Copies of this chain bind each other. A is one copy, B any other.
């Protein structure tokens, strides 16, 4: 039986940290940005470009980069479509080869046939602000208002990207097996219990 975990998360909620720690504890291969690195290598494209196209979604890219030049849209759509298709193919290949944990990237929907344990991580705005401040890149001096706007933009892009592969909403609780509110939670302290939960859940659910 293949053990697959798919984590979606609000920006600043600590979902990636949960994913990394859970993958370590359960001995699962961890994939997040690693997917873009692999695609960039295979496509001979710049990794940042691949990351931007895949993570920020069609709509945002149109608005930010291409709205001044309508003639560029068709080729961008082609590139984005190809990169997203590559991402889904790669996710499927990785998941059939080994036990693994994916953060984001629509893996919950792409791997639905493999019956992954689907987790959503979220938190109240103040808690996410605090976490973002602690982990801000050097030199980032956003006001709270700007940071809240950034968090919303990223979450909207994640929801839009998810819509491309799923027929349910990104933040619909029925799309998940477990939803974790990390407000005022020390993530390290809950990992042993989440590991035990995942172990029990995998024993309950026979996939592949």
CA of A193 to CA of B176, assembled, Å: 18
> How many subunits of this chain does the assembly comprise?
2
User: Which residue in chain B gives the minimum CB-CB distance to A190?
Assistant: B200
Q: Are B174 and A173 in contact (CB under 8 A)?
A: no
CB-CB < 8 A to A186: which residues of B?
200, 204
Bound state CA distance, A124 and B118, in angstroms?
Answer: 14
What residue of chain B has the Cβ atom nearest to residue A115's Cβ? B184
Contact in complex: B185, A204 (CB < 8 Å): yes
Q: Which of B171, B195, B197 contacts A190 (CB 8 A)?
A: B197
In the bound complex, how far is the Cα of B194 from the Cα of A186, in angstroms? Answer: 16
B173, A185: Cβ atoms under 8 Å?
A: no
Shortest distance in angstroms between A11's beta carbon and chain B's nearest beta carbon? Answer: 16
List the B side residues contacting A176 at CB < 8 Å. Answer: 179, 181
Q: Is A203 interfacial (CB 8 A cutoff)?
A: yes
CB distance from A202 to the nearest CB of B (A): 10
Contact of A46 with B by CB under 8 A: no
